Amino acid sequence: MLNKIIVSFVKLLPESIVYIFAKKYIAGPNLTDAVSVTKKLNSMGIAVTIDVLGEAIRNKEEAVYEKNECLRVLEIIKQEKLNANLSVKPTSLGLSIDKEFFLTQMKELLNKAKQYNNFIRMDMEDSRYTTLTIEAFKKLQTEFNNVGIVLQAYLKRTSDDVDELNKTKSNYRLCKGIYVEPEEIAYKEKQKIRQNYLMLLEKMLKNKSYVAVATHDDYLITNAYKLIEKMNIKKDLYEFQMLYGVKEKLRDKINKDGHKIRIYVPYGQHWHAYSIRRMQENPQIAMHITKSIFKFS
């Protein structure tokens, strides 16, 4: 309840004020900002996935603009020799407008990524797009081996999705899930989500699929460590992933423990919507921003 009140309060503030404190969790509005953050993380032995923030696409022209920005990301990664790949939101490239148009956009990006020996991860959005995203991913898989998908542990359907996608040794990012979904389709209890997460992770690892273990939950990370050790999983079959600016001490511990870790680094003009969504997901972010605002005042 407190978190909801805080988020509602922050939504009322001018964007210029929110940005002062939200910038801890985004690289900045420009690609040069993302490059700077990526270089810093790379110097610490940490990999990166860069995300172009674009969540309010209304037409194909805007989707093409987002695609071109993603091409710029791939080009700068190559030019600067960054240890980074690309994450994309399917709706930012037109999935909600026209599925075939989206596939054409993705194929252009994947061809460029393949040319540069790079990889693209398709993010998962809210449940309106789950089936569409998985169907598109399966089609792209038939042509490309440098594409991955995100699955969400709080969705009740995900176990069946893993069973299906395991048939093709899919490349996964497994996260808890951040969108507000109805109880009919999503688990709500914290421990139930954790249990489902670990069950899904074990399924993926048993299949020898590549898995990005994406979480800031100490409980899940501790149990992922145990699973990896118990199943004797090779280090080239998994990595850990975290958001930029969140639990940096835990990030550094995972890195020090010898596990590959990749940080999700978002940038772009649509930073406000991203920041609000992350605050809704993570009370620590909301509380940090609110305390900073009152201190600043």
CATH number of the domain encompassing residue 72: 3.20.20.220
pLDDT at residue number 18? 66
Instruction: Please check the confidence at residue 37 and state whether its pLDDT lies above 90.
Output: yes
Rounded Cα distance between 286 and 233, Å, is 36
Find the catalytic residue in 123, 161, 251, 262: 123
Q: Known catalytic residue: 173? A: yes
Q: Known catalytic residue: 251? A: no
Residue 38 lies in a domain: no
Are 21 and 74 in the same domain?
A: no
Residue 32 lies in a domain: no
Are 95 and 12 in the same domain?
A: no
How many domains does one find in the chain? 2
Are 20 and 93 in the same domain?
A: no
- Which stretch of DSSP H or E encloses residue 136? helix 130-141
Are 20 and 51 in the same domain?
A: no
Query: Hey, what amino acid is at 107?
Result: K
- Which stretch of DSSP H or E encloses residue 249? helix 248-256
Residue 179 lies in a domain: yes
- The model carries a pTM of 0.90
User: Looking at residues 123-152, what average pLDDT do you find?
Assistant: 97
Residue 171 lies in a domain: yes
Please count the other Cβ atoms lying within 10 Å of the Cβ belonging to residue 120: 23
Residue 82 lies in a domain: yes
Residue 155 DSSP label: B
Residue 149 lies in a domain: yes
pLDDT at residue number 156? 98
Are 84 and 22 in the same domain?
A: no
Instruction: Please check the confidence at residue 288 and state whether its pLDDT lies above 60.
Output: no
Residue 34 lies in a domain: no
* Strand segments (E) across the chain: 47-52, 84-88, 120-122, 147-152, 172-175, 211-214, 238-243, 261-267
Are 76 and 106 in the same domain?
A: yes
Structural domain that includes position 72: 46-267
Are 255 and 281 in the same domain?
A: no
Find the catalytic residue in 173, 194, 262, 278: 173
Instruction: Please check the confidence at residue 271 and state whether its pLDDT lies above 80.
Output: no
Are 233 and 290 in the same domain?
A: no
